Amino acid sequence: MRSIVGLIDLQEWIAECKGSKKRAVSNFEYAGPLTEEVLLGNVALRAGNKKLFWDSDNLKITNLPEANQFLKDEYRIGWEL
């Protein structure tokens, strides 16, 4: 059985996705860049624990081109998006 708090969080999240004027507790303006930063930390580790320069406009790593391979998955045939 879902808790009331979990249900309220879900309703806020859905309203935020639909463009509600009321801000959700899990604010996308904060959560989006934070998620990007954490995921880029994982890319840096996979690239040999090296410092990366991220071009957020073009979604590319500029100083270590071989690290860009970790940004997208290659899907098996029949599982493409």
Could you read off the pLDDT of 28-59 as tens digits, one per residue? 788 888 999 999 999 999 999 889 999 989 99
Q: Per DSSP, what are the bridge partners of residue 60?
A: 55
pLDDT > 80? residue 2: no
**What is the C-alpha separation between 9 and 26, in angstroms, rounded?**
8
Which pTM does this prediction carry? 0.62
Sequence spans of domains, the chain: 4-70
DSSP conformation letters of 36-59: HHHHHHHHHHHTTS----EETTTT
Average pLDDT, the chain: 84
Q: Decide if pLDDT at 1 tops 50.
A: no
